[in-house]
Structure 1
Amino acid sequence: LMRQIWEPTNGPQTYISPQRFKAQIQKFAPRFMGYAQQDAQEFLRYLLQGLHEDVNRVQKRPPSENPDYDKEDKMPDAQKAELYWRRYKAIDNSIIAGELAILVFSKRNIVTGRHAVIMTILHSYWPNPYLTSQMLLDLFMGQLMSTLECTSCGYKSTTFDPFWDLSLPIPKMAPVTIIDCFELFTSKEVLDGAEQPVCSGCKSRQRCRKSFSIQRFPQILVIRILYRNPTLCTRFLTMVPSSSNFSAGLLCLNKAKLSLYFKRFSGERSRSKLTTLIDFPSKNLNLMNFVSECSPQKSASYDLYAISNHSGSVYGGHYTAYCRHPYLNTWFEFNDTRVSQIRQSDIVSSEAYVLFYQLKNSSR
């Protein structure tokens, strides 16, 4: 499919139909069969999680550790973050980080299968790839820093969790920007009543303040925008503690990308679609204000290159896409078999569902 998209066409047909690709997916996920409306984000997540499991080279998990939490609590945050990072990679290390690091230096005609496709994408972005396996691994995973502060004794504890995507709440204000969503996500939240955690200093449940920050941005990042309602978040909790609104996944191998998901559909019960207009920049989305103080991250600035739009309702609708041509630097609308050029000033709308950003530069 990737080859067909970029190959010159012969004859009047100038579009590619992914029917064979979809047929393979629905063999393993029958819920995607037929032509009923499906959630594009759920489809992408299913596909990429499956690819991630398929290429995970850790076949035998190491024996479970017995962490010394008292010792870890006394570590500097930067040292603790590295410890948690290494611990995670010991049980979840994609083959992409190792085998493909060798393949990118190989001749293309001796590589076959899915590696040939991925290698073609890599070479299109890195004609002279000086990449290590660690750099490839950094394309996919990020790390979140969670801080708990006891309001009684002042004790602070930090934890670090890997993430493949972030879930951002939408503030109850107008107008709303992507930065507003990040600011709400990283603001302090009071945990009280039934949500009180156990304070390691007081040795009892106490009222605490919780906050998030980004320890390291992945070069591929998914951000889901949703309303701050716990009942709408539980279905996405898979990898990190239940108090966090995060989920696991893997994104396409495509240089340094940032993908933002707008939670347009408000939940299982209400079955309504949200039409909140969220303003987002096409250039220089700077997220450095949301990096933790102990982070090694030096830059996090992104440019927009694609948008997936959904028009209609939760019961039926239509998907279109806006994409910026990587060489012409002009925007095009993809609507089934029709492709037309659009103005950059027209790409921001309340129908935007998924945004794709590309990292401008990275110090790592």
Structure 2
Amino acid sequence: MVDGVTLTMGVAGSKLEKALGDHFPEGERYFGLENFGNTCYCNSVLQALYFCVPFREQLVEYYSNNKSQGDGDENLLTCLAELFTQISSQKKKTGVIAPKRFVQRLRKENDVFRGFMHQDAHEFLNFLLNHLVDILEKESHKAKNQALANGPSNGQVNGVKQEPMVTWVHKNFQGILTNETRCLRCETVTARDETFLDLSLDIEQNSSITSCLKNFSSTETLNAEDKFFCDKCCSLQEAQKRMKIKKPPRILVIHLKRFKFMEQLNRHKKLSYRVVFPLELKLSNTMEAADSEYSLFAVVVHVGSGPNHGHYVSLVKSHNHWLFFDDENVEMIDESAIQTFFGSAQEYSNNTDHGYILFYESIGADKY
């Protein structure tokens, strides 16, 4: 067993096996993750990513191709790939794994996560995906430089700007937004594309993901002090601005902005608003004619009344079963129970378990 990974098998594990019985998916593993002092933010996101199957498969393949490198080249990517490989290759179907090496590396890479304070799961997810991209890009550039040093340039023309590298992290999570601005004087439309790995949405009481997405793409008028400089008119003009999803990602990650800074309180407050997130989601405001359809497969839930304390758990769909991951504990839950994580219709409620990060997979996405 790799150093830093311990295994236990408890009552919860055997209970889960008993609950699934003959329906336990062939080759699948359901392991809880040990908490190393307020690392639930990390554990909940890792479970959601583990059950993003194409991403998991790429990591396991990466580990298989790079495991001979040794500890000298250890980084966050190798630690994550090692962890996912450890889980997927267990002989037992259920149990608990201690992701010690990954957590140690995370704390070494980013001092935000170095202490034992409560951290934000979305901030961790954002850091992790971007950091993995950085590592893959550096490895690609290193391999290209070595290839150039060892032989001819293979027809490369000096001075030609290279296209940005598209890693398998991009292929899974990256989408493209288009920021359109229309001058109201000359009707010229200026469009600027930008990439995203997740969408952060403002939320309102008693709303839905569909309405939040609609508000995200709603038209905003730029006037008074916010006028737009139109290149064609060569002057500041009133304009209309909107953000649209130009190219939807394979895995759509939606972050609900539940923590809002309240100036009168001089602190962040958690919004416990009821926001309905469907099991099946259609993106109808893309630039393409056809709708993009998605299926929900994971939810990271924040439990607690504020941003600086509380707990994170995750709900995961695997082989048509829904599972509840709470650090070391793994249980089966009914699909109907997901509704309890929508939020509260009242300002104050005893229920503090709210959906915070949603993971949707594109229906019918081609495997690459």
TM-score, scaled relative to structure 1: 0.63
Bigger RCO of structures 1 and 2 (CA < 8 A, at least 6 apart): 2
User: Among residues 311, 320, 323, which one is paired with 2:313 in the alignment?
Assistant: 320
Q: Answer yes or no: is 1:355 the counterpart of 2:358.
A: yes
Q: Pick closer, same or farther for the CA change 1:363–1:15 going to 2, 3 Å.
A: closer
CA deviation profile, 1:303-348 (whole Å, cap 9, x unmatched): 11111111112231111111112x2x11111112221111111113
What is the distance in 2 between the residues matched to 1:49 and 1:264?
22
- Report SS of the residue matched to 2:259: coil
What is the distance in 2 between the residues matched to 1:90 and 1:143?
19
User: Among residues 89, 95, 102, which one is paired with 1:14 in the alignment?
Assistant: 95
User: Among residues 303, 316, 331, which one is paired with 1:340 in the alignment?
Assistant: 331
What is the distance in 2 between the residues matched to 1:46 and 1:260?
15
Across the aligned residues of Structure 1 and Structure 2, the Cα RMSD in angstroms comes to 2.6
Residue aligning to 1:106: none
CA contact (8 A) 2:323 2:333 kept: yes
List runs of 5+ in structure 1 lacking aligned partners.
60-88, 98-135, 220-256
Residue aligning to 1:62: none
Q: How do 1:233-272 and structure 2 match up within 5 A?
A: 257-267=251-261, 269-272=266-269
Residue aligning to 2:270: 273
Bigger Rg over Cα: 2
- Structure having the higher helix fraction is 2
Amino acid at match of 1:309: V
Identity %: 30
CA contact (8 A) 2:208 2:277 kept: yes
Q: Pick closer, same or farther for the CA change 1:48–1:277 going to 2, 3 Å.
A: same
What is the distance in 2 between the residues matched to 1:314 and 1:142?
28
Give the C-alpha shift of residue 202 in structure 1: 2.1
Amino acid at match of 2:361: Q
Residue aligning to 2:148: none
CA contact (8 A) 1:300 1:361 kept: no
CA contact (8 A) 2:202 2:256 kept: no
TM-score, scaled relative to structure 2: 0.62
CA contact (8 A) 2:183 2:228 kept: no
What is the distance in 1 between the residues matched to 2:332 and 2:257?
27
CA contact (8 A) 2:179 2:241 kept: yes
CA deviation profile, 1:118-162 (whole Å, cap 9, x unmatched): xxxxxxxxxxxxxxxxxx864343222222122233332222223
List runs of 5+ in structure 2 lacking aligned partners.
1-82, 143-160, 344-353
Q: How do 1:26-41 and structure 2 match up within 5 A?
A: 26-41=107-122
Residue aligning to 1:291: 286
Aligned length: 250
Give the C-alpha shift of residue 3 in structure 1: 1.8
What is the distance in 2 between the residues matched to 1:280 and 1:215?
22
